[in-house]
Copies of this chain bind each other. A is one copy, B any other.
Amino acid sequence: MPDTLSLRFAALADPTRRAMLVQLSKGQASVSDLAKPFLKDMSLPAVTKHLKVLEKAGLVIKTREAQWRPCQLNGEAFKDLADWVDQYRTIWEQRFDRLDEYLKTVTAGKQSKGKRYARKK
């Protein structure tokens, strides 16, 4: 069984499922509410399956209300994702540092590229 993060990213790697999340971000919805926009493109069981993927990934919480299954987003999961991506914050912020560095290099005149991969030992 894959780890939670893998389940979560895999769940997000599908446009249909991401569209469902958008709809849920506007508020609770039942399975058939969620299915409505997709029934031109796919069957209801297909929607059920997508929802199960989202549920197993912990992105969506499905409850019971008579014969309906109201679904809602799980805030915790999105927080976790945000935290994961944030690990790479320095990476995208460094773009500007590198640009600074490059500009300095250009201003300071040409310098040799140098071999960055010398044979080890």
Contacts and interface: CB of A to CB of B under 8 A. Distances in A.
Interface in A27-80: 28, 30, 65-66, 68, 70, 73, 75-76, 78-79
Contacts of A2: 13, 15
Contacts of A92: 75-76, 78-79, 82
Contacts of A68: 117
Main secondary structure of the interface of A (DSSP, over half): helix
Contacts of A13: 2, 6-10, 13
A30 B78 contact: no
Given A75-B91, A92-B76, A117-B70, A6 B10 contact: no
30 contacts: A2-B13, A2-B15, A5-B18, A6-B14, A7-B13, A9-B13, A25-B88, A25-B91, A65-B116, A65-B117, A66-B117, A70-B116, A70-B117, A73-B88, A73-B91, A75-B91, A75-B92, A75-B93, A75-B94, A75-B95, A76-B92, A76-B95, A78-B88, A78-B91, A81-B85, A81-B88, A82-B82, A82-B86, A82-B88, A85-B85
